[in-house]
Amino acid sequence: MNPSGSLFRHFGLVIIAMIMTLPFLWMVGTSIKPHHEVESLSLLPSSPHPENYAIVLRQSPDPYTGKLLDLDFPKWYFNSFFIAGWVTFLQVLTSACAAYAFARLEWPGRDRVFVLYLGTMMVPGMVTMLPAYQIMVSLGMVNTYQGLIIPSAFSAFGTFLLRQFMIGIPRSFDEAASIDGANHLQTFIEVILPMSRPGVIALSIFTFLGNFQSFVWPLVMVRDDHLRTIPVGMLSFQGLYGQQTELIMAATVLNVIPLIILFVVMQKQLISGIQLGGVKG
């Protein structure tokens, strides 16, 4: 256990960590620069201009036009959280129910249907996007919250993940429950679901994160400003005020901070979830 060798390794790791975080540092520094300093090499401005955040949040006017920016950050945040929340809730619920059916119940054709589920996971997302959009048009759900939530509320991946998990739970628990007189629904809710907790939490994090950052589907579905999620909002921000880098960076910082906090808090569950979903030795 060579302490200087360890220190050497630490040194290398720190350098790599600096490289990885450098873009973020630049982002934070630029977000408080006044416009004419954006082009300078320095990370920090010589005259800090934290008013950029006020401008982005519509609390103070844009120095170029004298008007408030035409954005609605709080609404975008709300939309992203709201939609991702519903999608996660629905997806985990339906996937857990379906996983139970695949893992614990015996019924004709079960394994064949499961292989069908797996097969569809291989199909690229773009394939389904166009017809799914047409279906939404005929259902009249374009440009609505439902249109953003419902198609994403089902996932073959979630079903797969939870089924693998549930298979690993010993049958003895089921048997004990049935001896106590529980039917399938009760077994599911009281026994299997709590025991699948790590898998459920991992799936929740993945789903929430994936939906929070999803860009293509909201882009296509959303027309009204008040339905925009953060990625789509940032796209329109870029289109309208793209020349004002410092504002874009301030907005980006506001987007990224909650993700960082979420990550630091959820680190442990997230890592174990990835290891679950990956290859077992």
Partner 1 sequence: MIQPVQRRNLGIALLFLAPNLIGFLLFTLGPILISLGGSFTSWSLKPSVPLRFVGLQNYVDLLSDPNFYFYLYNTVYLLTGLPISIAGSLALAVLLSSRLNLQTSRAALILSLTAALGSLPVSGILMISGSGSTAFLVLALGVITSLGLYFNSIGYRTFYYLPHFTAGASTILLWMQLYNPSFGLINQSLLALCEFLGIPFSPPGWLTSTRSLLGFLPLPAHFNNGGFGVGAREAIMIMTIWASVGGNNMILYLAGISNIPPELYEAADIDGASGWQRFRHITFPQLAPTTFFIVVMGVISGLQGGFEQAKLMTEGGPAGTTTTLSYYIYTQGFELLDLGYGAAVSWVLFLLMMGITLLNWRYGNRHQNQ
Partner 2 sequence: MSTTRTLLTLFGVLLALSVIAAVWRPRSTDDPRTPLVWVSDNSPARQAQIEAFNRLHPELRLRLDYGSRGTQKIILQCTSGVGPDLFDYSSEEIGAFVEAGILWDITEVAEGLGLSPKNGWPGAERNYTHQGRQYGYPCNTGVPILIFNRNLFDLLEIDYPKQLMTIGEFIALAKAFGEASQRKLPPGGQVYPCAGMDWKILFSALRGEFFDPLGAPNLDNNPALLQALELHHQFLFKYRLMPTTIEARTMSGQGGWGSGNINQFAAGRFGMFVGGHWTLIAFSRTYHQQIAELQRRGVHPEEISTPTERPLHLGAVLIPRFPGRQPGYPISSRVAGINVRSPRREEALAFLQYLAGNTYSELLNQSCDSLPGNPGYADAGVEAGPPALDRVAMQAVTMEAMRYGYSFRESPFLQLADVHRAISAQIDRMEADPDLPVPGLLRHAQKELERIMRRNLDRNPALKARYIETFGTSAYHSLP
- Chain residues binding partner 2 by CB under 8 A are 35, 39, 62, 64-65, 70, 75, 78-79, 81-82, 85-86, 89, 93, 133, 137, 140, 142-143, 145, 189-190, 193-194, 220, 223, 225-226, 236, 240-241, 243-244
Q: Which stretch binds partner 1 (CB under 8 A): 59-67, 166-174, 192-200, 247-255?
A: 247-255
User: How far apart are the C-alpha atoms of 189 and 196, rounded to whole Å?
Assistant: 11
Four-CA torsion 232, 238, 241, 245, nearest 10 degrees: 130
Q: Which one among 39, 66, 67, 179 touches partner 1, defined by CB under 8 A?
A: 39
Structure tokens at 27: 């982002």
Longest alpha-carbon distance in the chain: 75
CA angle centred on 260, ends 256 and 265, rounded to 5° = 150
Asked if 241 interacts with partner 1 (CB under 8 A), we say: no
Asked if 201 interacts with partner 1 (CB under 8 A), we say: no
Closer to partner 1 by CB, 24 or 64: give it.
24
Nearest to 156 by CA among 114, 106, 216: 114
Binding to partner 1, residues 210-239 (CB under 8 A): 212-213, 215-216, 219-220, 230-232, 234-235, 238
Asked if 12 interacts with partner 1 (CB under 8 A), we say: yes
Q: With DSSP H G I counted as helix, E B as strand and the rest as coil, what are the percentages for the chain, rounded to 5?
A: 75, 0, 25
Coil/strand/helix, residue 54:
helix
User: How far apart are the C-alpha atoms of 251 and 248, rounded to whole Å?
Assistant: 5
Least separation in angstroms between residue 188's CB and partner 2 is: 9
Asked if 95 interacts with partner 1 (CB under 8 A), we say: yes
Coil/strand/helix, residue 50:
coil
User: How far apart are the C-alpha atoms of 15 and 86, rounded to whole Å?
Assistant: 40
Do 130 and 217 form a contact (C-beta atoms < 8 A)?
Answer: no
Least separation in angstroms between residue 278's CB and partner 1 is: 4
Closer to partner 1 by CB, 60 or 245: give it.
245
Which of partner 1, partner 2, none has residue 82 at its interface (CB below 5 to 8 Å by kind)? partner 2
Which of partner 2, partner 1, none has residue 101 at its interface (CB below 5 to 8 Å by kind)? partner 1
Q: Which one among 23, 170, 181, 194 touches partner 1, defined by CB under 8 A?
A: 23
Closer to partner 2 by CB, 117 or 190: give it.
190
- Residue 2 backbone dihedrals phi, psi, to 5 degrees: -80, 110
User: How far apart are the C-alpha atoms of 250 and 36, rounded to whole Å?
Assistant: 15
Which of partner 2, partner 1, none has residue 186 at its interface (CB below 5 to 8 Å by kind)? none
Asked if 118 interacts with partner 1 (CB under 8 A), we say: no
Asked if 245 interacts with partner 1 (CB under 8 A), we say: yes
Binding to partner 1, residues 158-197 (CB under 8 A): 159, 184, 188
User: How far apart are the C-alpha atoms of 141 and 151, rounded to whole Å?
Assistant: 10
